Structure 1
């Protein structure tokens, strides 16, 4: 079976490690980056099957990263799940506006994240 590739974009190192360990233990091929520009480079060079995206990132926020992924014909099909501490209605609406496929707020339950990822990768 081909292992699904997941790109995690998270600037908080401890969370990036935690999410990487969690997804690797579930059999996913995981790559992590800590900023939006690096995420776009990786997506361009080696598109993942799914992106787990934080919003509060240095230089370029997750909203902008998502907007660029979804505006690009070559990458718009990649599911983007926003995983963020930003919980306001405005933030969620903005996530929808830029094309996020799903929105999960921190703190999160690992099982819910895995379930959501599996649902999108099964499509």
Structure 2
């Protein structure tokens, strides 16, 4: 069974790139483009990993991680946070489900390594 990854990102070109790269690695990919859709999509597809942008329409990444932490069904789902704002990494330090932070633009080999590590692959 393929592991499911949810990409929560509002830039279509980044969703397309990550979908291509991660599908090639053998993962089943889902995506949504707003913070409001993120939680509903997580509850529907039960991802093994969430790749989460910080700046999103609706709810931002920090709010999503907070909601996940308060939801028993989502609190153990690992998260990789992505952002062009390196300073935003500090906001996510209190959340144990955040396994890694990737700054944009991505170094794809590092990104894939972080995904594999977060999934235990």
Q: TM-score, normalised by structure 1?
A: 0.92
User: How many residues were matched structurally?
Assistant: 120
Aligned partner of 1:47 in structure 2 is 46
Aligned pairs for 1:1-123 within 5 A: 2-88=1-87, 91-99=88-96, 100-122=98-120
2-structure distance, mates of 1:22, 1:6: 12
Aligned mates of 2:118, 2:100 — CA distance in 1: 9
Residue segments in structure 2 that go unaligned for 5+ positions in a row: none
Point out where structure 1 has 5 or more consecutive residues left out of the alignment.
none
C-alpha RMSD of the superposition: 1.2
Q: Deviations over 1:21-53 (max 9, x none)?
A: 110111100001101111100111221000000
Question: How far apart, in 2, do the equivalents of 1:73 and 1:64 lie?
Answer: 16
Aligned to 2:93, the other structure's residue is in SS state: helix
Say whether the 8 Å CA contact 1:9–1:39 is kept in structure 2: yes
Is residue 84–residue 104 contact of structure 1 (8 Å, CA) maintained in 2? yes
Calculate the TM-score normalised by the size of structure 2: 0.93
CA deviation string 1:8-31 (max 9, x = no partner): 000001111111111011110000
